[in-house]
Structure 1
Amino acid sequence: MIAHSVDDPFYYLHNFQQVLDWIELRYADLLNEEERAFIRQFAEQPRPARALLVRMVMRKGELFRPSKLAYAEIGPTLAALQPLLELGWVSNDSLLSLEQLFQLLRKDEIASGFAAQLSRPRAAKAELYAQLQALDLAARPLHDWLPDFPEPIVTLRLQALCDRLRLLFFGNLYQDWSEFVLADLGLLRYEQVEFSEDSRALRQRGDVDMALALHRCGELVEQGMPLAQVLSEVESLHSDNPWLLRRRSRLLYQLGQHSERLGDWNLALRIYPASLHPQARIRQIRVLERSEQWAQAFELASEVARQPAGPLEVQALARMLPRLQRKLGGPPQPRRARPAAGLIELQLPAQWAELGVEQAVRLHLEAQGGQVHYVENTLFNSLFGLLCWEAIFAPVPGAFFHPFQSAPQDLHDPEFQARRRALFADCLGQLDDGRYRQTIREQFRCKQGLQSSFVFWQMLDESLLEQALACLPAMHLKHCFERLLEDIQSNRAGMPDLIQFWPEQQRYRMIEVKGPGDRLQDNQLRWIEFCAEHGLPVEVCHVRWLEPSA
């Protein structure tokens, strides 16, 4: 797509038209008659009307005062509104609730317009609302509320349609029109990937409907609708689209978590078996345990243990099975061994706590020599993203379908690596023959600032990069990168907080920092165990704050 300069006053209109052209080219068979008619009629309208409509679409809400829609490039607002009113794309006689009216009007306008109904017209706006709310006033058009109000209230009637179009373009509803503005300003830049003819997230009209329904269900949870009602809606949604199935599983998992927080074990046990989320089976066992259904929990845990999905389940079952055996009257089980990591115990000045425990430890260690960086999950992910850039952004059919993607849409699919097996083999093979340093440096220079789910540009400067390339053995990087590819969703987090380099000696160590009362999380334990198994130097640092003597 062509980026338009924000110096062009109609840049937003050009961006919107590009989206319509993109959708018409790639999703024509998924459009309904209303959407086709809108795309056709939109192009026929005067430019001021088109521009004003796009301005409203890109703003928050659906209700507007024309006086708040004043744009120099558009000209007189009421004139620009007229074609939109004739088409029914906006209206000026919609029913307005008291709450909506209060959101649009100033306090003085409310006080003068409702003077007869207000006992205390000079009160704060919130109190004015309380006074009128007590009258239980029904929704009505603006002219019935305030006959002499000097301007109409305009309602945008196309929001649902534009949301569907936005969904078709982005494949989601969490990205919005601001992506274009940020790209036009150069604040966000994306890798340009060639799109194949079948590069579509949504493949049939039913996919559009299901994506919208899943989004609505998520909103209903946030609005406090009873979980059982939301679950019934989610259970009625089915698709063979892998992307939508992941979203459905993620939503079900969230519903299960909500049910647990409410202590509704029966509902949680109804939800988790329907979710393909990687932690759903473990949560199901945990709910059986918390509801004291020991035998059922042990039976399911034993079944999962026979064919665990990955290290996450192995780790959780190592704790659960012995505990459940004890509950069922079995013999005591040996405690799980702690990971074989070195231990650092520090007492640091209490005033350093203001820095944060990680930065306090960084300063302390750096004073003893070497270069210490607070990197957590950013460094190894970034090095992986740079070395494997060409594999990650390969134009695999269906992986990229719009120009604002920081990762392929199948990134968390089980087949992600398999679809790019030869590409990843070539990338990781460079760690065997020494080519990796040149590749990482070239990608760091050529791809600088391009959005990536792996590369943290704000953290990775040239100095840190060169220290990492000098001190991290290629085989250590390969072990870490292979682990990432085994389960990107689970393994891209949990890495140690700090890394300490000694460039002259070409060595390093990683340090996981824990403040008073803090403990290692499961994903951190898995990384520490992995490092110990493969000979990567890692230590755990426990910090106590030393209060100054009186």
Structure 2
Amino acid sequence: MLLLFLLWMVNQDKIILPEKYYLDNFRYVLNFVLGKYEPLLSSLELDFISTFMSLSEDAQCLYVRMSNRKGQFFRKEKLIYQEIINLDEAHEELLENNLLTKKTILEIEECFQLINIYTKPEIIQRLKALDFQIDKKLKKDQLILELLETCDLDLLTETFYSNSIITQSAKEELDMIKLFFFGHNHGDMSDFVIRDVGHAKFMEVDESKLGTSFDSREEAEAVMHLSQLSKEFYLLEEAVSPLSVYEWFKEIEIGYFLNMEKAKRRADKLLHKVGYHLEKHKHFDQALELYHLSSAAPLRERRIRIYNKQKDFDKSLALAQQILENPNDNKEYYIALDVINKLEKKLKTTTIRQKEGMVIPVDSSYQYRVEQGALAYFESLGYQGYHAENSIGRNVFGLFFWEEIFDPQYNSLHQPLQRNPSDIYGKDFYEKRKKAITDKLQTTKSKKQLAKVLKQSFKSYDGVANPFVHWEVSMMDAMWQFLAFAKLKQIKALLAEMAIDPKNRSTGFPDLFVWREKTYSFYEVKSPNDHLSEKQLFWLERFDEWGIHSEIALVEWH
């Protein structure tokens, strides 16, 4: 599907990429990683790069073509590429250099992948030789699973593996090289194509000023290992009991990863996934044991929810008070506040605010487009407006602080296809840039000066990927309309608030922005069954504090 999408994009703009564009990009990645990370690469990874570079161009093309496809096994007769002159010779060369292999013993998962490269009719045809009775009505995946459960693996391997099957080697080495290049495990070589056909623009940064994704081999291996553990968890949660998952997790030295800066965020995610899996199945003591290992969001919130289910309100209250003193984010703060309010027989803070909302009549034909229905209501009263949601605040922030976000001095830009600085959602984003952000806000003395900064960013970077900026014309228009009404001190307060925690404070803004003559308002739209979230309450309260008019619009169907 991705390949078809990319081909469609190329045809749309009539951009013809060089015949071996994918090989050029692959070589670029290898040379980039070798130049920047050579001291951190293992002997196997260095040997892989050296061996690959020594191959004929046909062999290089075949290897890259396979590495860009999903799966481990390929049928040689299905690999037809016009630019590879002699596929058989390329195949033999890769075999000789151990970049392809012939497997004789397969694990269950590998056997599944092998059989899966055949169509269902082909699978049934090959099974005839085994005189194996099978339900032909089964879907292909179910058919393969039944085979794995009832047939000998060696027999299945012998039946479906042939000399025409190509098996990629050095996958672990290549995965580690990609990790060094992209800085994460979900990097995709298709980003080069998306850039080259003009459907994504990335910040242009002098490569000599790019930082490094990892400072040590240990950090990279930790991130890779956590990625593998996460995949293993997804398999286990479907296949074994929750307590077996718990026993599996107990064998992991999670503290090692939690104490490593580059690995901690991923370790916290795995901790949350496993803990929540246990919690869902009512293994509360085991879940609490895991949640206690870190104070990262949302682990303390999960602990509170379990304490409340267990009616251990003393622990719930103590933790809530602890959170209020040093919350991770807005959601955690309001959840802690609600725990205290509940024990004092008060309504939830979000409930209190929602009850204060104004009721508006909306035609029931908008039942599945509630924001558009609310906007239509306000337009019937003579207002103009946008369903802008988070885009107004995010656009102002992204354009105003563009230079600060992407400044290479903060070692958060590591490669030329980076959409987001690596620290954009981390706790240290603000700490690194605090002086630059504060200075810029203090030296901005007028709305005219602020608008000049925004226009300059728009002119210089129009269309370039920025984690905050939504380039759609209507969203930019909504931003300028808001700025026409807002006071400078209100805009600066908004920017300063977002800068403290861009991850959690760049969402939750009201749905609609409407205006008529000299009046304007933001509206958070709620259908009868919808409830105000903690993030939404945060911005409504900040807008109240700064004098930015905002309300909750409670939809009543008509």
- TM beyond 0.5: yes
- Answering whether residue 321 of structure 2 is matched by residue 302 of structure 1, we say yes
Change in Cα spacing, 1:498 to 1:322, as seen in structure 2 (3 Å) is closer
- Which 10-residue stretch deviates more, 33-42 or 444-453? 444-453
1:250-277 deviation per Cα after TM superposition (whole angstroms, max 9, x unaligned)? 3223333223222221122112222242
The reply to whether residue 404 of structure 1 matches residue 423 of structure 2 is no
Work out which of the residue numbers 117, 134, 138 in structure 1 matches 2:153. 138
**Cα 1:517–1:125, aligned 2, differ >3 Å: closer, same or farther?**
closer
Q: 2:258–2:267: 8 Å Cα contact kept in structure 1? A: no
Report how far residue 311 of structure 1 moved: 4.4
Take 1:446 and 1:234, find their aligned partners in 2: how far apart are those partners? 47
Is the helix fraction higher in 1 or 2?
Answer: 2
Letter aligned with residue 467 of structure 2? S
Residues 527 and 345 of structure 1, relative CA distance in 2, 3 Å threshold? same
Which residue pairs with 2:60 in the alignment?
Answer: 50
Retained in 1: the 8 A contact 2:388–2:513?
A: yes
Aligned counterparts of 1:342 and 1:369: Cα–Cα separation in 2: 24
CA contact (8 A) 2:330 2:534 kept: no
**Are residues 1:71 and 2:86 paired?**
no
1:484 maps to 2:498 = yes
Structure 2 residue 297 is matched with structure 1 residue 278 = yes
* 2:99 alignment counterpart: 89
Shift of 1:70: 0.9
Identity of aligned residues (%): 25
Any residues of structure 2 matched to 1:109-128 within 5 Å, and which? 109-118=122-131, 123-124=136-137, 126=139
Deviates more, 1:411-420 or 1:185-194: 411-420
Which residue of 237, 248, 265 maps to 2:256? Answer: 237
Structure 2 SS opposite 1:274 = coil
**Equivalent of 2:451, from 423, 437, 444?**
437
Structure 1: 5+ residue stretches without partners? 327-331
Shift of 1:307: 4.5
Task: Describe how 1:386-397 pairs up with structure 2 within 5 A.
Answer: 386-397=399-410
Runs of 5+ in structure 2 lacking a partner? 1-9, 238-244
| 495, 501, 523: which one aligns with 2:509 | 495
Indicate conservation of the 8 Å contact 2:363/2:373, yes or no. Answer: no
Report the Cα offset of residue 353 of structure 1: 2.1
The match for 2:242 is: none
1:16 Cα deviation (Å)? 0.5
Rate the CA distance shift 1:215–1:335 in 2: closer, same or farther, 3 A.
closer
Of 292-301 and 158-167, more deviation after overlay is shown by 292-301
**Inter-partner Cα distance in structure 2 for 1:388 and 1:131:** 57
Aligned AA (2:154): A
Name the counterpart of 2:232: 220
Amino acid paired to 2:482: A
Shift in CA distance, 183/94, structure 1 to aligned 2, threshold 3 Å: farther
Do structure 1's residue 264 and structure 2's residue 276 form an aligned pair? no
The answer for the alignment partner of 1:178 in structure 2 is: 190
Amino acid in structure 1 at the alignment position of 2:62: L
1:442-473 Cα offsets, whole Å, 9 max, x none, are 21232111111110123655533432332232
May I ask how many residue pairs the two structures share in their alignment?
531
Counterpart selection for 2:466 from 445, 448, 452: 452
1:372 alignment counterpart = 385
Secondary structure at the aligned position of 1:237 is classed as helix
Q: CA RMSD in A?
A: 2.8
- Tell me: CA distance 1:46–1:239, structure 2 relative to 1, closer, same or farther (3 Å): farther
Deviation at 1:284, TM superposition (A): 2.0
Closer, same or farther: CA 196–240 of 1 in aligned 2, 3 Å: farther
Structure 2 SS opposite 1:496: coil
3-state SS of the aligned residue for 2:282? coil
166-175 or 436-445, which deviates more:
436-445
Offset at residue 306 of structure 1 (A): 4.4
Is 1:38 aligned with 2:51? no
Q: 1:253 to 1:432 in 2, by over 3 A?
A: farther
SS in 2 for 1:189: coil
- Give the equivalent residue in structure 2 for 1:254: 273
Query: 2:467 is paired with a residue of what secondary structure?
Result: coil
Relative distance call for 1:465 and 1:528 in structure 2 (3 A) is closer
Q: Distance in 2 between matches of 1:106 and 1:125?
A: 13
* AA of the residue aligned to 1:169: F
Mapped to 2, the partners of 1:251 and 1:130 lie a distance apart of 28
Letter of the structure 2 residue corresponding to residue 472 of structure 1: A
1:382 aligns with 2:395: yes
Taking structure 1 as reference, are residues 299 and 120 closer, same or farther at Cα in structure 2, changes over 3 Å only?
closer
Superimposed CA distance per residue, residues 280-321 of structure 1 (whole angstroms, 9 cap, x where no aligned partner): 223223222222223333333334444445644442222112
SS in 1 for 2:292: helix
Deviations 1:340-378 (A, max 9, x none): 996321222222325x00011111211222321011111
- Are the structure 2 counterparts of residues 530 and 334 from structure 1 closer, same or farther at C-alpha, using a change threshold of 3 Å? same
Q: Partner residue of 1:329? A: none
Quick one: distance in 1 between partners of 2:394 and 2:285? Answer: 39
Distance 1:135 1:512 in 2: 57
For residues 191-230 of structure 1, the aligned pairs below 5 Å read 191-195=203-207, 199-225=211-237, 226-230=245-249
C-alpha separation in 2, matches of 1:445 and 1:422: 25
Residue 311 of structure 2 aligns to a residue in which SS? coil
> Does the residue aligned with 2:81 lie in a helix, a strand or coil?
coil
**Paired residues of 1:94 and 1:141 also in contact (CA < 8 A):** no
CA contact (8 A) 2:320 2:337 kept: no
Q: 1:418 aligns with which of 431, 447, 472?
A: 431
Stretch deviating more after TM superposition (359-368 or 345-354): 345-354
TM-score by length of 2: 0.87
SS of aligned partner of 1:347 = strand
Instruction: For 1:363 and 1:45, locate their aligned partners in 2 and report how far apart those are by CA, in whole Å.
Output: 64
| Farther off after superposition, 163-172 or 5-14 | 5-14
62-71 or 228-237, larger mean C-alpha shift: 228-237
Partner letter of residue 464 of structure 1? Answer: A
Report Cα offsets for 1:477-530 as digits up to 9, x if no partner.
Answer: 21211111122222111110011133x52x421000011211111111111111
Number of the residue aligned with 1:472: 486
Establish whether residue 427 from structure 1 lines up as the match of residue 440 from structure 2: yes
TM-score normalized by the length of structure 1: 0.88
Which of 505, 511, 529 in structure 2 is aligned with 1:517?
Answer: 529
Sort the Cα spacing of 1:261 and 1:107 in 2 relative to 1 into closer, same or farther, 3 A: closer
In 2, distance between residues paired with 1:234 and 1:194?
39
CA 1:117/1:292 → structure 2, altered by over 3 Å: closer, same or farther? same
Quick one: distance in 1 between partners of 2:361 and 2:544? 26
